Structure 1
Amino acid sequence: MVDIHLEGVGHSYDGGRSWALRPMTRTWRSARAYALLGPSGCGKTTLLNIMSGLLRPTVGRIYFGDREVTTMPTAARNIAQVFQFPVLYEGMSVYDNLAFPLRNRRYPKAEVDRRVRTVARLLGLDDQLHRRSRRLDAGRQQIVSLGRGLVRSDVAAVLLDEPLTVVDPALKWTLRSKLKEIHRDTGHTLVYVTHDQTEALTFADEVVVLKDGAVVQSGEPTELFLSPAHEFVGHFIGSPGMNMIPAEVTGGVVRVGDTTVGRAVGVDGDLPAGPARIGVRPEFVRIPAAPAAPGLPARVTGVDRMGAYHLVRADVDGHPLVAKVDTGSWYAPGSLEYFHFAPDRAFLFRDAVRCGVLAAAGEAERP
């Protein structure tokens, strides 16, 4: 296991007229579990295939530890890759499919058996080992394919390209937990491509969010949820995503329409006057029954009953605002309510990038 370092790596499929993956420099640390998260077409699979050797980058260099591998084929990189759909020898048994990567590298017979049975147990394949792979349903075949990628203990990294797409939804949560367990057991570097925020946030030590071929933010799941550095991260992570409300900054005061909602505390000092957007997650929007201070007036447009909580939907000068409240609350559509934002959880954005935090009136500490 080694660090994987990308130095100015980028890729274009049309001769440089546009970038599927914008040039980036980044290090993937050994033994960590990463998730590449973003919508279809953002560059996730392109990046994974460059790391595996299936695709040679248009620009830049790739290093596994101190060894440059930019021009090396996949077989020479000592990685395992699991694809979106099953890749198996259908005439072989499940046991033989799992054992194949080990036998091909002349592992001792006892070690082959130990590794196969360990991975089979973790993935719930114990009772399937002697079945022919072609007799399994697509979801179970994909689990075997996943096991083939995880069975080796000596790989530089395991790269997974949306490996749970064809797996029954009821099994996905269990398999994500099993992947984490296998990661703890083997210490592999795992890079997991997904467009599913739940998969990314529950699986990874670090989530790397991509948009339009570029990384917009990376960090631990909690960091991305609580402190998004880009509007896209606030929107893409969370269900529902972050509220975005147009505001105006004047003399350090933040107003939405005619209502003062707090003070602007810039990331790099005082925030210059001008338009901004307030980003606040529904989890941090409050509707006090008897607010101690004036809040942001908004007209309730509806209430979604989600079982464990309610989502109160409202309108602020034509812009939507959502609050996540407990089930004991009741708000009538059409009523005027006053919304408050939790301290240190409402951020200010300009040009889609976080530029400050919305502090309560009178507060002036920097974020």
Structure 2
Amino acid sequence: MARITLDHLAHAYKADPRTAEDYALKEINHVWSQGGAYALLGPSGCGKTTLLNIISGLVRPTRGRVLFDDLDVTDLATEARNIAQVFQFPVVYDTMTVRENLAFPLKNRNVPRDRTARRVEEIAGLLDLTRVLDRKASNLTADMKQKISLGRGLVRPDVAAILFDEPLTVIDPHLKWQLRSTLKEIHRALDITMIYVTHDQTEALTFADKVVVMHDGAVVQTGTPDELFERPAHTFVGHFIGSPGMNILPCRVEGATAIIGSTMIPLRRAYRTLSGGEHIELGIRPEFVQLQPKGAGLPVQVRRIDDIGRARIARVELGGRPLAASVPDGVSIEGSEASLVLHPNHVHIYANGHLVAGETSGGRAA
């Protein structure tokens, strides 16, 4: 088990990188605490797997260091780092039984047979593999093989960290929730640092205590699931997390008022003077925007209302800009004219994609 520190870490696949655009992974300074459950979340190509492979030793960074506790492991081979890695597709030995596959990492380390047997039974029970322990892996489905692969990563209790690279890709959708819950239970029981790479926000938010959101090779925010939802530090986080994502609307800001077209929106706090060269936007999640009958709030045009089972989402236009809003139970809209009520505590202002701190009445940032 280890604390993992990324110290001025950056990586480029091209020779002689000179600008930030040359780097697939832009500079990162980050610490993963020992025993934490973390997720690297972002779209394909954002640098998640590159970062994971640097931590595991499969890729050497262009610059910076990786430390396990206080040990610099930047130049250590993968096998010297004492980590377990579970990949997107199953890595199993088809000619072995499930029991032999699970026992293999322990056998290689000369763990006594009785301890190995107990550990294999424990992990098999957690992953619902007990009934197939003595079957050949070659006769099992792809999702069962991936459960074996997960088990091989989890079976060693002494690892510094377990790294998961989109491990549930081949798992049937109805089993994903069960396995995410199982991994969370195992994490609580074993107190091992776990880092989970995924582009699926549901996987990240249900597995991790802290989520690292990546975009275009950079970390744009690290926080708890609640922090990412309630206060996105970047417009990408607001858009990427949530279904539907945050409404992002170009605006002007004058003190404690945001202006979208000719619509004026009061803000909970005043903002500094924003320069003309900055791209200013207002962000608010659909959950905090309510559609109401005409005359009850900001005037909007209703384009359609979607019933998504658990809720109704209205697609409207505010000042000529598209926006999604929640429709409360019991609210009925006649025609295309309606109103919006925005929750002031959940309105955020962004400059060039980054959250801008407002000011309290005393002039302090908030």
- TM-score, normalization: structure 1? 0.93
Q: CA–CA distance in 1 between the matches of 2:243 and 2:9?
A: 33
Q: In the alignment, residue 301 of structure 1 is paired with which amino acid? A: R
Asked whether 1:80 is paired with 2:84, we answer yes
Question: For structure 1, which segment, 121-130 or 78-87, has the greater mean C-alpha deviation from structure 2 after superposition?
Answer: 121-130
Query: Aligned to 2:307, which of 302, 305, 308?
Result: 305
Query: Aligned to 1:321, which of 320, 323, 327?
Result: 323
Q: In the alignment, residue 2 of structure 1 is paired with which amino acid? A: A
Residue 6 of structure 2 is matched in structure 1 by 6
Q: In the alignment, residue 136 of structure 2 is paired with which amino acid? A: R
Q: Is contact 1:264–1:271 with CA below 8 Å preserved after alignment?
A: no
Q: CA–CA distance in 2 between the matches of 1:251 and 1:320?
A: 24
Asked whether 1:184 is paired with 2:184, we answer no
After superposition, residues 105-144 of structure 1 pair within 5 angstroms as: 105-144=109-148
Residue 333 of structure 2 is matched in structure 1 by 331
Q: CA–CA distance in 1 between the matches of 2:332 and 2:294?
A: 14
Residue 345 of structure 1 is matched in structure 2 by 346
Residue 197 of structure 2 is matched in structure 1 by 193
Q: Is contact 2:267–2:347 with CA below 8 Å preserved after alignment?
A: no
After superposition, residues 252-291 of structure 1 pair within 5 angstroms as: 252-263=256-267, 265=269, 270-272=272-274, 276-289=280-293
Q: In the alignment, residue 223 of structure 2 is paired with which amino acid? A: G
Tell me the secondary structure at the aligned position of residue 265 of structure 1.
coil
Q: Is contact 1:303–1:311 with CA below 8 Å preserved after alignment?
A: yes
Q: Return the offset for 1:252.
A: 3.6
Residue 102 of structure 2 is matched in structure 1 by 98
Q: Is contact 2:184–2:207 with CA below 8 Å preserved after alignment?
A: yes
Q: Is contact 2:44–2:199 with CA below 8 Å preserved after alignment?
A: yes
Q: Return the offset for 1:110.
A: 1.7
Gaps of 5+ in 2: none
After superposition, residues 48-87 of structure 1 pair within 5 angstroms as: 48-87=52-91
Q: Return the offset for 1:160.
A: 0.3
Task: Assess, with a 3 A threshold, how the Cα gap between structure 1 residues 251 and 78 changes in structure 2: closer, same or farther.
Answer: closer
Count residues with an aligned counterpart.
360
Q: Percent identity?
A: 50
- TM-score, normalization: structure 2? 0.93
Gaps of 5+ in 1: none
Tell me the secondary structure at the aligned position of residue 9 of structure 1.
strand
Q: CA–CA distance in 1 between the matches of 2:31 and 2:275?
A: 38
Q: Is contact 2:290–2:328 with CA below 8 Å preserved after alignment?
A: no
Q: In the alignment, residue 321 of structure 2 is paired with which amino acid? A: H
Residue 41 of structure 2 is matched in structure 1 by 37
Tell me the secondary structure at the aligned position of residue 35 of structure 1.
strand
Q: In the alignment, residue 7 of structure 2 is paired with which amino acid? A: E
Residue 238 of structure 1 is matched in structure 2 by 242
